[in-house]
């Protein structure tokens, strides 16, 4: 006989969301974006599959696209000569209120900068506490 865990039993639990943007990266916002449960962000990291260019960096930011609120104090920056698939942990904003999502708010992965030759495949990982 199957059992179901009541939602009250998962409140306070940590969950990791993975956002993925395949292919050649270009500067753009809200690609992808994902509807979130009611939660608070407690950790974020990003990586790219292949780092392009001979100068500059691939800059990745995360935001609550519904409220237009950044989650990171500054972009996660992966240098042109960086190692592919090396995850970089972001520093969350100091405003605690900015880290809360209402149910249905959209979490988005934004590419703010790319090197001269584009990088490919952006991944973001966001750990949240369910509320």
**pLDDT single digits (tens) 15-70:** 898 989 888 888 887 678 889 999 999 999 988 888 777 778 889 999 999 999 99
Q: Residue 116: which pLDDT band, with cuts at 50, 70 and 90? A: confident
Phi first, then psi, for residue 97 (nearest 5°) are -60, -30
Task: Return the pLDDT at 56.
Answer: 82
φ/ψ region of 64 (left if φ > 0, alpha if ψ in -120 to 50, else beta) reads: beta
Task: Return the pLDDT at 28.
Answer: 84
**Local structure of 10: helix, strand or coil:** coil
User: Which residues lie across from 100 on neighbouring strands?
Assistant: 40
**Local structure of 41: helix, strand or coil:** strand
Task: Return the pLDDT at 9.
Answer: 61
Q: Give 9 or 61, the one with higher predicted confidence.
A: 61
Options 1.10.1740.110, 1.20.1090.10, 2.60.120.340, 3.90.1150.10; CATH for 14-130 is 2.60.120.340
The answer to whether residue 13 scores a pLDDT higher than 60 is: yes
Burial 48-78 (b: 16+ CB within 10 A, else e): beebbbeebbbbbbbbbbbeebbbbeebbbb
**DSSP 8-state code for residue 3:** -
Task: Return the pLDDT at 26.
Answer: 86
Q: Report in angstroms the alpha-carbon separations of 72 from 11, 52, 89, 92, 117.
A: 24, 23, 10, 4, 25
Whether pTM > 0.85 for this model: the answer is no
The answer to whether residue 1 scores a pLDDT higher than 60 is: no
Nearest to 61 by CA among 103, 109, 106, 18: 109
Write down the domain spans for the chain.
14-130
Task: Return the pLDDT at 118.
Answer: 74
Tokens of 75: 């972009």
Question: Each residue of 77-92: pLDDT tens digit?
Answer: 888 776 777 778 899 9
């Amino acid at each position: 006989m199957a059992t179901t865990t009541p939602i009250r039993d998962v409140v306070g639990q940590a969950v990791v969301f993975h956002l993925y943007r395949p292919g050649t990266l270009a500067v753009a916002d809200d690609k992808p974006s994902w509807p979130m449960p009611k939660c608070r962000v407690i950790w974020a990291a990003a990586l790219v599959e292949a780092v392009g260019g001979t100068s500059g960096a691939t800059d990745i930011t995360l935001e609550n696209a519904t409220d237009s609120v950044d989650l990171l104090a500054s972009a996660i920056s992966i240098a042109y000569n960086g190692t592919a698939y090396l995850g970089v942990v972001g520093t969350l904003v100091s405003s605690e209120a900015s880290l809360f999502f209402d149910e249905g708010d959209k979490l988005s992965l934004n590419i703010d900068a790319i090197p001269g030759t584009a990088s490919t495949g952006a991944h973001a990982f966001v750990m949240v506490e369910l509320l």
